Amino acid sequence: MRQATGVNELLKAKLETCRQQVEAGIDQLLPPATTRPKQLHAAMRYSMEAGGKRLRPALLILASELFPSAADPLPAAVAIECLHTYTLIHDDLPSIDDSDLRRGRPACHTQFDEATAVLAGDALLTYSFQLLAGHYRAQPELCAALVSELSEASGSEKLIGGQMEDILNEGKPVEPATLAYIHENKTAALLTAALTMGLSFCTPESEQVDRIRRIGYHMGLTFQIVDDILDATSSAETMGKPVGNDAAADKSTYVALHGLEGARAEAKRHNDLAIAEAEALGGNNTLLIALIQAMEARSN
């Protein structure tokens, strides 16, 4: 128990260090809010500086430290946070989830206006690839791997495709395979990209890449299932965003399909599989395993 407590404290400290690094990177690497057009850049920074767990950049940094690496992962970590934040801005729009609260404060379209939010999301999506191309051009193999991973994960057959299927299936009875498709792509694809992008800094073997993809898959499904559980059981104050939206919109969720206990069992199953893969991957994996374990028990 004492050893587990010690690892959890190390994880907490590491995540705080990653958060500080990423937020300093956001401040340094994004265009200033005064850049013309000011409203667009202010909206980009408003959403990027809203805080949050910074989970995806932290996963990228942790994966980059599994094995020896000579390159700086921070620009890539900021890039994936830019892309993630674009998805949040667009998800909150009235035409999609119609949510006025994000990370405990007004959503981008509420703070500014809907047109500005759409364009700020577009700009952050584009800027994520601008960051990768600009900061890793002297390492073309690494640059190509990073761009390939992020673009594939965020495209029409994965992240955006999962969002489309989610919208199309609102209010309909959903088969388990359809629900799995939605969350494998809408959520797990980007978490997997964070891990594979981070591992790219270590010039990995193909077997290591395959293993970390499986970690991302199971970790992503754990994350989404727990998100579904929290939407059904938590409060807006704890979550920093509205809760109960899934049920109100008759959305497809693991809770709707399996009930609370069934959803918790599924989260545990995927979490255990992610831990097993991380243990087999080896390297400096102690904090990664601790973070996977924390996924199932998170409260926001």
Confidence of residue 242 (pLDDT cuts 50, 70, 90): low
Least confident residue range of 6-10, 43-47, 188-192, 274-278: 6-10
pLDDT of residue 52: 85
Residues contacting residue 198 through CB under 8 Å, at least 6 positions apart: 59, 60, 61, 62, 63, 64, 65, 66, 73, 76
**CA distance readout (Å), 87 to 102, 105, 115, 148, 160:** 12, 17, 15, 18, 9
Nearest 10 degrees: Cα torsion 200, 202, 205, 211: -70
- Reference 109, options 122, 96, 92, 123; nearest CA is 92
Q: Is residue 28 over pLDDT 50? A: yes
Q: In this structure, what are the phi and psi dihedrals at residue 179, rounded to the nearest 5 degrees?
A: -60, -40
pLDDT of residue 243: 52
* Start-end of H helices in 104-188: 108-111, 114-135, 140-153, 159-168, 176-183
pLDDT tens, position by position, 273-289:
999 999 999 999 999 99
pLDDT of residue 257: 86
pTM of the model: 0.92
CATH number of 18-297: 1.10.600.10
Rounded to whole angstroms, the Cα distance separating 110 from 62 reads 34
pLDDT of residue 239: 46
Give residue for tokens 């946070």.
81
Mean pLDDT for 156-163 is 96
HEC sequence for 205-230: CHHHHHHHHHHHHHHHHHHHHHHHHH
Q: Is residue 292 over pLDDT 90? A: yes
Q: Is residue 104 over pLDDT 90? A: no
Query: Do residues 26 and 54 lie in contact, with contact meaning Cβ atoms separated by under 8 Å?
Result: no
Least confident residue range of 16-25, 97-106, 227-236: 227-236
Residues contacting residue 53 through CB under 8 Å, at least 6 positions apart: 15, 19
Mean pLDDT for 24-30 is 97
Mean pLDDT for 5-15 is 91
Mean pLDDT for 141-145 is 97
Q: Is residue 1 over pLDDT 70? A: no
What is the pLDDT of the chain when averaged over all its residues?
91
Q: Is residue 165 over pLDDT 80? A: yes
Q: Is residue 44 over pLDDT 80? A: yes
Confidence of residue 256 (pLDDT cuts 50, 70, 90): confident
Helix (H, G, I), strand (E, B) or coil at 94: coil
**Domain segments of the chain as ranges:** 18-297
Confidence of residue 297 (pLDDT cuts 50, 70, 90): confident
